[in-house]
Structure 1
Amino acid sequence: MRNISSEDFLKTYLKPAKPIILEDFVALESPAFSKWNYDYFKEIAGNHNVNIYGSEIESLDRVASKPVGQSTFSEYLDLITSSPTEHRLFLFNLLSIKPELKNDIHYNDVTNGKIIKWLPFMFFGGEGSITRNHVDIDMSHVFITQFQGVKRIWLFPWEQSDLLYKLPYNFHSITNIKEPDFKEFPGLKYIYGYEAVIKPGETLYIPSGWWHYIQYETEGYSVSIRALPSSWLEKWRGFKNLVLIRHFDNLMRNLFKEKWFDFKVRKAKRKANRAIKRQKSFQI
């Protein structure tokens, strides 16, 4: 959608928590579209060391997976442009290292001042790399703008957390929604959501609390910017996640190791089974 007013966006999408692709959230005349490219990034930050992350499927009991290696930023960019790879960057924010780059992005702020312009995040990934199905820990609204390459993103509302087998005290699902095992996780038969493809210049609005599974269709990079949660319930969830839940989970994991993870998996399956029964009762 293009040329939506702030009033219409807030009323039709943000308040009812409905995703949408915006075609002009970042102004097309922004210098980033003509100035940014891999050679430019190598020139200004190529010598920085970066942690490289791979598949997250093997680290289901952690908020974030451990890095699988390290290289210079320049070497990583050479890697993703030479061949498909599941390797991506996480928590390497070029916009923090080179804050002057923030001036290269001009926003058409349809949120009427709610977005936090001074706190953008940048993400890089190779063709085929994924980010597991998760909700953002702070429960913010998120606007993801693609600058290079193509991303495919699957979205599911918060209300489907149980059917998605949300891992208790964590913020991701234990299921693989791309290759679902319906026998092991029958709740996946009942989920519904959206599938979005974003290309350079397009921005996907992800409402607070919505699940998102991200796949890089090609190598590329994007910038996300946040807006604080709208309701007091969402704000409380975000505060609780950041201040209480994640620290409690880390403590219990350190104390009980695999037993704690096994307990959470059993609890996720029990909650999913109850959600399945509710779904079946609605269909009668």
Structure 2
Amino acid sequence: MRLKPVQKIKTTSSETFINNHMKPGVPVIIEDFVHPESPAFKKWNYDYFKEIAGDHRVNIYGSELDSLDRVASDPIAQTTFSEYLDLIQSAPTEHRLFLFNLLKIKPELKNDLIYNDVTNGKILKWLPFMFFGGEGSVTRNHIDIDMSHVFITQFQGIKRIWLFPWEQSDFMYKLPYNFHSLTQIKNSDYRKYPALLYLNGYEAVIQPGETLYIPSGWWHYIQYDTEGYSISVRALPSSPLEKWRGFKNLVITRHFDNLMRKIFKEKWFEYKVKTARKRGARAARKQRSFQI
């Protein structure tokens, strides 16, 4: 597996960004996508969040390796937002808050964000999500089901993200009818999953104030180097192919998979694992033949 660093840029014109990154699908770190003068950078911290929403009940997510047969993992516990923030500050933990919409609970927080919109108005500013995680927690390698373009802005801590294009899905051992891979790509058993050796991707290390642009359909494996939190906003897929894939995933594929899982139970998952391994092995053989 080979990873190269993601390029960093300052905010540029919408035309340049769309032509250089969105249309060709090239990830990039934008240093000022959220304007440095945004009030969020001065106001937001854990104590402030506990003050305004500390009593709110939140779902806690843990390791996703226990739910490989599902599109999304189930929460493992509930606690108050305040107790969760105390937890991630006290020690490393794999516990995360996933798609936590604090800005829906406290919509006035949206006023603390000033975007340098490089998409010519395509960003869904009204639909931001927050992600919190403890040091050492990870989000499994996955593709976003709706095929949106994603902008992840880090506000606290350091996050490390590995990125791979859609075309490398077989090397990932993508589970059929799901949007994640059979194996974690870090510290994997290459004898068991040899196709991982042929991955070519990017590594982005995002610091507070920086935003990672993830193109539509790209795989991303997220690691929390420290505890921290980020906000993501999305831009809807633009090409006809991206739109069709997003529609199919949301309306057809997800429901078909749930139905098959209910009917065939473990046999359905076994079929998907077998198919993912078969496709990975075929991709690895094909790649080796190119190198001979």
Normalised-by-shorter TM-score class: over 0.9
Whether 1:231 and 2:239 are equivalent positions in the alignment is yes
Aligned to 1:29: 37
> Offset at 1:281?
3.0
What percentage of aligned pairs have identical amino acids?
75
- Per the alignment, residue 15 of structure 2 pairs with 7
The one of 179, 185, 190 equivalent to 1:182 is: 190
Q: Gapped runs of 5+ residues in structure 1?
A: none
Residue 241 in structure 1 maps to residue 249 in structure 2: yes
**Residue 4 of structure 2 corresponds to which residue in structure 1?**
none
- With normalisation by structure 2, the TM-score equals 0.95
Residue 263 (structure 2) aligns with: 255
Asked if structure 1 preserves the Cα contact closer than 8 Å seen for 2:11 and 2:116, the reply is no
Q: What does residue 44 of structure 1 align with?
A: 52
CA distance in 1, matches of 2:290, 2:108: 54
Equivalent residue letter for 2:247: F
Q: CA deviation at 1:283?
A: 2.1
Tell me if 1:78 matches 2:86.
Answer: yes
Q: CA RMSD in A?
A: 0.9
Give runs of aligned pairs for residues 58-77 of structure 1, distance below 5 A.
Answer: 58-77=66-85
Describe the shift of the 1:230–1:281 C-alpha distance in structure 2 as closer, same or farther (beyond 3 A): farther
- The answer for the alignment partner of 2:103 in structure 1 is 95
Q: How does 1:109-148 map to 2 (within 5 A)?
A: 109-148=117-156
Give the AA of the match of 1:147.
F
CA distance in 2, matches of 1:196, 1:135: 16
Match of 2:178 among 170, 176, 179: 170
State which of 263, 271, 275 in structure 2 corresponds to 1:267. 275
- 1:282 is matched with 290
What is the count of residue pairs matched by the alignment?
Answer: 284
Unmatched tracts of structure 2, length 5 or more = 1-8
2:134–2:226 CA contact under 8 A, matched in 1: yes
Q: Deviation string for 1:198-226 (max 9, x for gaps)?
A: 01000000000000000011111000000
Runs of 4+ aligned residues of structure 1 deviating over 3 Å after TM superposition are none
Deviation at 1:235, TM superposition (A): 0.5
Aligned to 2:26: 18
Q: TM-score, normalised by structure 1?
A: 0.98
